[in-house]
Amino acid sequence: MSAPNTFDVLFLPSGLKGQFAAGTPLLDAARELGIGIESICGGTGACAKCKCQVLDGTFDDEGHELSMGHMVTTSHGLRSRNSHVTPATEHEQKLTRKHQFKHGERLGCQTRVLGDAVVFIPEEARVREAIVRKAAGKPIAVRDPVTRKYFATVPAPTLEDHRGDWERLRDALKAEHGINVAIDFTTLKQLSDIAKPQRAKIMHLTVTVWLPDPNGVGEVVRIENGDTTATLLGLAVDLGTTTMASYLCDMHTGETLATESLMNPQIKIGGDDVMNRIAASDNPEKLDRMQKAVTSSLGELADRVTKSVGYTAQDISEIVLVANTCMHHIFLGLDPDSLGKSPFNPRISQSVNIKARDLHVKHVLPSVNIHLLANQAGFVGADNTAVAIALEPYNSDDLVAIIDIGTNGEILVGNRDKIYSTSCPTGPALEGASIKFGVRAARGAIEKVRVEPGTFDVRFKVIGKEAWNTRLVANEIGAIGLCGSGIIDAVAELFKAGILATNGKFNMEIETPRLRRGEDGDPEFVIAWAEETAMGRDITMTIDDVRNVQLAKAAVYSGIQVLLDKLGRDKPEKVILAGAFGSHLDLRRSLMLGLFHDVGFGNMHSVGNAAGDGARMALMNRAKREEAEHIARKIHYVELTNEPGFVPHFVDATLLPNKKHAFPSLARYGIYPAPPAEPRKRRRERTAA
């Protein structure tokens, strides 16, 4: 029986049920139970992804509807009614009309519990397992780890030698290796357990020592029987707003032995982007839950990645973690509210060393050190510092623009003379939040799009299928929407084919059944027909989608331009796309949109997860750790909202590819936008494929 003012809510098809207070949004209730419902906007009612349906009837605990005859002999049953949730507001009604919801479908973030309810989550609103693409780069060439292993022979105790086990081990390390050490208390317990069965015997031990200052006193964090010095493992972690990626490293060879990734569990508690996490942190209980969720996931990653190659998490000698400033603060349990208010200062900028036990990280040894690289500013954190030490623009003669496009875009522009950084909100559109059929990079997401000029036929590829859609049976394709790379491809291809004008408007004179007006009367272009999708609806690009992509790409371009203005330069000499998302973007199509400046295709590169590479370098090279501390203070952060030149640059950059700047490479590579087609009478019916 429910407590007063609480009600039972059963979610289908998962069959999970819980009790929730009156007024709880259905989206929050689902997250409490660990049910994945799409909500890219973080529950603000902007993305219209958290679709659900409140069923009318009486149901058993498994969600089967009970007939009246059955109810005569059944003493229980959950009575669900449409009136058991709040009525749709004017805002919700507007969104459901705009996004063509079916009758009875509601937004989970806007619908609140008023009584017992059974809630069905349709196929398109269910979170699929994301494809996390954060592969490690090449092995780290220069290795000088802060944490090392030493083999020592410890003499047996005698009646003449009254030193304790620890003192004999400490003195042996000094005599054999010339190092001064202290011991972590939990490691002292290890020594006790090892020494007990070897009473009055010589002990041969391997000691793991964390020595941040080579001239100082190290700390013994692990003791093992025998000589295990051949194995020295470390874990580098890139904690992103959306994903967590871990890299198990051999600190002797510099190689990455295994990688494991998962979705950041904070999404289910605090929403999908940085600003929503900051807002959620105002509630101390939510801040605590978000911290525990991510530290628990760190332990899970450590366990999974070591087991995958035959080790255990206790074999990890040290962890290096990088994150944006908000994720960094939540990981440490620091309230990030200062990041959301001018002057947007972080709680701490310098690097942090903290014991695993202080963060309650499971599976790894409690004595192991976790090192967090230095933050630069409120919205440019340790992950951007890691990008900097991985790519070293501060050692470059050429002027380099480095763009890390994720949920929050981070930009570095400079060379050995001076470097500026800034942050711009790119994720909402480029990760699907404000795109009608935008989804995360999961199985079934359209990741590549090609539109044939003249015929306007469409080819696309979905994640999980090797072949293009034209080589598959339509009902086996199962497209669920457009992920970031597919969104950029689609807009660029429509522009190249002449379907979109420079201002982003559709050329409605073109004759093709794919170009039409939607139910709201606005233009849209069909990327995938209903029979090619998992939800039986056409997947389209709308004029609003195009506009949102224009705004997102303009934010990136104008951010780069503001930093160039600071340096007195017109454009960079090299452009580097960093990050998992950037590594999957098509450079030609990204340039066609005007995502960045035209520096020639030979000077444009994608480098993958540079933040992860920087974390691995800091794990295995003491000098890189010190370099990160220095570089984070050397980089000059620019807050775009304070720059008078940002708005005019932004306005110019909303056009495709740009109002003022030239893009000669587009013509040279044969992808210059095609002229609009001659007006022709449009066919009213779709022709057979």
Contacts of 314 (CB under 8 A, 6+ apart): 222, 363, 364, 365
Q: Nearest-CA neighbor of 246 among 372, 134, 330?
A: 134
pLDDT of residue 253: 95
The reported pLDDT for the residue numbered 68 is 47
| Sequence-ordered list of residues with C-beta below 8 angstroms from that of 680, at least 6 positions apart, any chain | 509, 510, 511
Q: How far apart are CA 100 and CA 577, in angstroms?
A: 36
Kindly indicate whether the domain formed by 6-125 is annotated with CATH number 3.90.650.10. no
Do 337 and 344 form a contact (C-beta atoms < 8 A)? no
Beta strands 243-250 and 256-263 are: antiparallel
147-225 against 233-372: fold identical: no
Cα 499 to Cα 54, 548, 686: the distances in Å are 40, 17, 18
C-alpha 630: how far from chain center: 26
Identify the pLDDT of residue 69. 43
| CATH number for the domain whose boundaries are 147-225 | 3.10.20.880
Asked whether the bond before 657 is cis by omega within 30 degrees of 0, the reply is yes
Rounded to the nearest 5°, which phi and psi values hold at 112?
A: -115, 150
Match 């794919």 to its residue by tokens: 514
> Please, which residues have CB within 8 angstroms of residue 45's CB and are 6 or more apart in sequence?
91, 92, 95, 107, 109, 110
pTM of the entire structure?
Answer: 0.82
Q: Considering the domain 233-372 in this protein, what is its CATH number?
A: 3.30.420.480
What span, in angstroms and rounded, lies between the C-alpha atoms of 240 and 238? 6
Residue 415 burial (CB count, 10 A)? 19
If one counts every other C-beta atom within 10 angstroms of the C-beta of residue 54, the result is 21
pLDDT of residue 184: 94
DSSP state of 614: H
Q: Which residues contact 56 (CB under 8 A, 6 or more apart)?
A: 80, 81, 82
Q: What share of the chain is helix, strand, coil (3-state, %, to 5)?
A: 35, 25, 45
Q: Can the peptide bond before residue 343 be classed as cis, meaning omega within 30 degrees of 0? A: yes
Cα dihedral across residues 622, 624, 628, 630: positive or negative: positive
Q: Which pair of tokens denotes residue 632?
A: 């984070």
Question: Rounded to 5 degrees, what angle do the CA atoms 270, 273, 277 make?
Answer: 35
Domain ranges of the chain: 6-125, 147-225, 233-372, 392-418+555-668, 430-548
Q: Which residues contact 153 (CB under 8 A, 6 or more apart)?
A: 172, 176, 202, 203, 204
Pairing mode, strands 574-578 and 400-404: parallel
Cβ atoms within 10 Å, residue 22: 13
pLDDT for 683 = 39
Task: Specify which residues 426 forms β-bridges with.
Answer: none
Distance spanning both ends of the chain, measured CA to CA: 57
Q: What is the pLDDT of residue 684?
A: 39
Phi, psi of 457 (to 5 degrees): -65, 150
Q: What is the mean pLDDT of each run of 10 residues along the chain (689 residues)?
A: 78 88 91 78 76 89 62 60 92 85 89 93 73 66 94 89 90 95 94 86 94 92 95 95 91 94 79 76 88 95 96 97 93 89 87 96 97 92 95 96 85 96 76 80 91 94 93 92 93 94 95 93 95 92 94 94 96 92 86 94 91 95 95 93 93 94 81 44 40
Q: Do the beta carbons of residue 406 and residue 241 sit within 8 Å?
A: yes
Rounded Cα distance, 450 and 474, in Å: 17
